[in-house]
């Protein structure tokens, strides 16, 4: 079987599945793709997008694993296999809905679920070195699907001095480079991250970084204020009913992360449950109505993205288009705020350019897996701070 699958890689094109579960902890995305070629000359077509939301209990358990005060080794160990089975099921369902059989698929490529991301070593504990942890065991996925499975990409970049994030710029270049337009690819998942692609860019021209919170804080605020009845602000309707509190917004934007220069990355370690609880406490002390709190959280995300564009990107690169993807692309209030803050730029969604807004990152992980299997370096040192290009990924056999 192994040799038969490897022989598929020598065909003019292959079918693969990319799996993505992000910091928003809202579910697993699966993208069935057709890939022709490899490296920066790859031609990628999305055949089918599948998404399976996490139920509320699973989402809460994952949040608990991301918090040192509520996590433990046993829960991480069990969830590592539980999620792998969920990921494998998503791949199988996506392939069936695409009208393909498992034998058509050359490989599955999984990002995994980030539990902890520590791009800098602890100054006080020599054992807490730069590291990252994504769970969703690759061997379980490989055995259940019967396909080669690639994953655990981040550690290779960190091993050569990078932050292990962001990983999507490599795929962004393949999917969105333009001969004459400067583009900023802004993904708004749990965390916001951007890739800057100058006109007619090559790999060395890219730069990328995490802009800060994406949907993570908005979602937690909505869940708390609704008493658990809502998990997110659909279409930004609740935020549209309120007004951002400018004083609280100013305090949020004073966080040291936003003053750092790229490369930089972040996650729930800085902007997770504890941060959101503090935000809610300050808002309630100020007597803000619920709609105003949601509007402030939404404006926070919009401002961090716009400020990053103005302060960190525009001095280095002309930006003609800002292209939004991820769950935030469905939040009309967030997009309106962002357009108002960046009136000189054309604001688009990935869907308007032919790639489903929610599918982009899953597609890119299929691209990363394809190049891993061919021994092609697939990180972007300009984005992660790595000392050199390297092949990211690990392989599990079926």
> What's 292's domain CATH number?
3.30.420.40
The annotation status of 175 as a binding-site residue, yes or no, is: no
| Residue pair 225/293 in contact by the 8 Å Cβ criterion | yes
Answer yes or no: is 184 within a domain.
yes
Token representation of residue 243: 């007004």
Q: How confident is the prediction along the chain (398 residues), in pLDDT tens digits per residue?
A: 656 666 777 889 999 999 999 878 889 999 999 999 999 999 999 999 999 999 999 999 999 999 889 999 999 999 999 999 999 999 999 999 999 999 999 999 999 999 999 999 999 999 999 999 999 999 999 999 999 999 999 999 999 999 998 899 999 999 999 999 999 999 999 899 999 999 999 998 998 999 999 999 999 999 999 999 998 999 999 999 999 999 999 999 999 999 999 989 888 888 988 899 999 999 999 999 999 999 999 999 999 999 999 999 999 999 999 999 989 999 999 999 999 999 999 999 999 998 988 999 999 999 999 999 999 999 999 889 999 999 999 999 99
The annotation status of 108 as a binding-site residue, yes or no, is: no
**Are residues 96 and 19 located together in one domain of the fold?**
yes
**Are residues 192 and 69 located together in one domain of the fold?**
no
Answer yes or no: is 111 within a domain.
yes
The annotation status of 27 as a binding-site residue, yes or no, is: yes
**Are residues 162 and 227 located together in one domain of the fold?**
no
**Are residues 101 and 117 located together in one domain of the fold?**
yes
**Are residues 95 and 77 located together in one domain of the fold?**
yes
The annotation status of 25 as a binding-site residue, yes or no, is: yes
Q: How many angstroms separate the CA atoms of 213 and 113, rounded?
A: 17
List CB contacts of 99: < 8 A, sequence separation 6 or more. 48
The annotation status of 204 as a binding-site residue, yes or no, is: no
Q: Omega into 29 within 30° of 0, i.e. cis?
A: no
DSSP 117-168: EE-S--SS-TT--SEEEEES-HHHHHHHHTSEEEE--HHHHHHTT--S---T
Write down the pLDDT at residue 7: 76
Q: What is the number of other CB atoms lying within 10 angstroms of the CB of residue 311? A: 12
Q: Give, for 390, the enclosing helix (H) or strand (E).
A: none
Answer yes or no: is 149 within a domain.
yes
**Are residues 217 and 344 located together in one domain of the fold?**
yes
Answer yes or no: is 173 within a domain.
no
Answer yes or no: is 48 within a domain.
yes
Write down the pLDDT at residue 45: 97
Q: How many angstroms separate the CA atoms of 312 and 126, rounded?
A: 32
Q: Is 387 strand, coil or helix?
A: coil
Alpha-carbon Rg of the chain, whole angstroms?
20
**Are residues 30 and 134 located together in one domain of the fold?**
yes
Q: How many angstroms separate the CA atoms of 368 and 394, rounded?
A: 11
Helix residue ranges, H only, the chain:
2-8, 56-65, 73-97, 138-145, 154-159, 169-176, 216-225, 237-240, 246-253, 268-271, 273-285, 290-308, 332-341, 360-373, 381-384
**Are residues 144 and 274 located together in one domain of the fold?**
no
For 291-329, how does the pLDDT look when each residue is reduced to its tens digit (9 = 90+)?
Answer: 999 999 999 999 999 999 999 999 999 999 999 998 999
Q: How many angstroms separate the CA atoms of 3 and 150, rounded?
A: 16
The annotation status of 227 as a binding-site residue, yes or no, is: no
Q: Residue 324 pairs with which residues in a beta bridge?
A: 186, 349
The conformational region for residue 150 under phi > 0 = left, psi -120 to 50 = alpha, else beta, is: beta
Answer yes or no: is 42 within a domain.
yes
**Are residues 320 and 373 located together in one domain of the fold?**
no
Answer yes or no: is 172 within a domain.
no
Residue numbers of the domain that contains 221: 178-353
DSSP structural state of residue 12: S
The residue assigned the tokens 């981040």 is 154
**Are residues 90 and 73 located together in one domain of the fold?**
yes
| Residue pair 199/271 in contact by the 8 Å Cβ criterion | no
3-state per-residue secondary structure call for 242-306: CCCCHHHHHHHHCCHHHHCCCCCCCCHHHHCHHHHHHHHHHHHHCCCCHHHHHHHHHHHHHHHHH
The residue assigned the tokens 């564009």 is 309
Write down the pLDDT at residue 3: 67
List CB contacts of 197: < 8 A, sequence separation 6 or more. 172, 173, 176, 177, 178, 182, 183, 184, 185, 205, 206
The annotation status of 29 as a binding-site residue, yes or no, is: yes
Write down the pLDDT at residue 22: 83
How many structural domains is the chain composed of?
Answer: 2
**Are residues 25 and 100 located together in one domain of the fold?**
yes
Which of 15, 109, 94, 18 lies closest to 5, judged by CA?
A: 15
Answer yes or no: is 253 within a domain.
yes
Q: Phi and psi dihedrals of 47, rounded to 5?
A: -95, -40
Q: How many angstroms separate the CA atoms of 27 and 215, rounded?
A: 14
pTM, 2 dp? 0.89
Q: Give, for 209, the enclosing helix (H) or strand (E).
A: strand 207-213
**Are residues 373 and 298 located together in one domain of the fold?**
no
The annotation status of 23 as a binding-site residue, yes or no, is: yes
């Amino acid at each position: 079987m192994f040799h038969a699958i490897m022989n598929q890689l020598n065909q003019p094109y292959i079918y693969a599945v990319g799996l993505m579960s992000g910091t928003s902890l809202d579910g697993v995305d699966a993208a069935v793709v057709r890939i022709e070629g490899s490296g920066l000359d790859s031609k990628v077509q999305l055949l089918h997008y599948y998404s399976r939301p996490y139920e509320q209990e699973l989402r809460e358990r994952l949040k608990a694993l991301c918090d040192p005060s509520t996590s433990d080794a046993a829960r991480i160990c069990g969830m590592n296999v539980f999620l792998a089975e969920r990921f494998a099921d998503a791949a199988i369902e996506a392939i069936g809905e695409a009208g393909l059989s498992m034998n058509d698929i050359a490989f599955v490529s999984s990002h995994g679920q980030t539990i902890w991301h520590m791009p800098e070593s602890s100054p006080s504990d020599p054992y807490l070195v730069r590291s990252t942890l994504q769970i969703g065991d690759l061997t379980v996925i490989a055995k259940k699907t019967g396909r080669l499975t690639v994953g655990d990409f981040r550690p290779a970049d960190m091993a050569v001095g990078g932050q292990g994030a962001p990983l999507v710029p490599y795929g962004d270049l393949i999917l969105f480079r333009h001969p004459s337009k400067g583009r900023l690819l802004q993904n708004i998942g749990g965390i916001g991250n951007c890739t800057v692609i100058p006109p007619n860019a090559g790999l060395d021209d890219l730069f990328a970084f995490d802009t800060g919170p994406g949907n993570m804080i908005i979602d937690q605020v909505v869940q708390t204020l609704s008493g658990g009845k809502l998990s997110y602000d659909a279409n930004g309707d609740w935020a549209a009913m309120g007004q951002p509190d400018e004083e609280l917004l100013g305090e949020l934007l004073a966080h040291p992360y936003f003053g750092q220069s790229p490369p930089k990355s972040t996650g729930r370690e800085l902007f997770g449950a504890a941060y959101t609880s503090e935000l809610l406490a300050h808002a309630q002390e100020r007597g803000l109505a619920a709609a105003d709190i949601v509007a402030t959280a939404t404006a926070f995300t919009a401002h961090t993205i716009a400020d990053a564009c103005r302060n960190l990107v525009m001095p280095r690169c002309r930006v003609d288009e800002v292209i939004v993807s991820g769950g935030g692309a469905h939040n009309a209030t967030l997009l309106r705020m962002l357009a108002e803050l960046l009136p000189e730029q054309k604001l688009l969604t990935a869907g308007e350019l032919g790639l489903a807004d929610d599918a982009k990152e899953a597609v890119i992980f299929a691209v990363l897996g394809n190049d891993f299997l061919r021994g092609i370096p697939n990180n972007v040192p300009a984005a992660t701070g790595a000392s050199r290009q390297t092949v990211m990924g690990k392989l599990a056999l079926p």
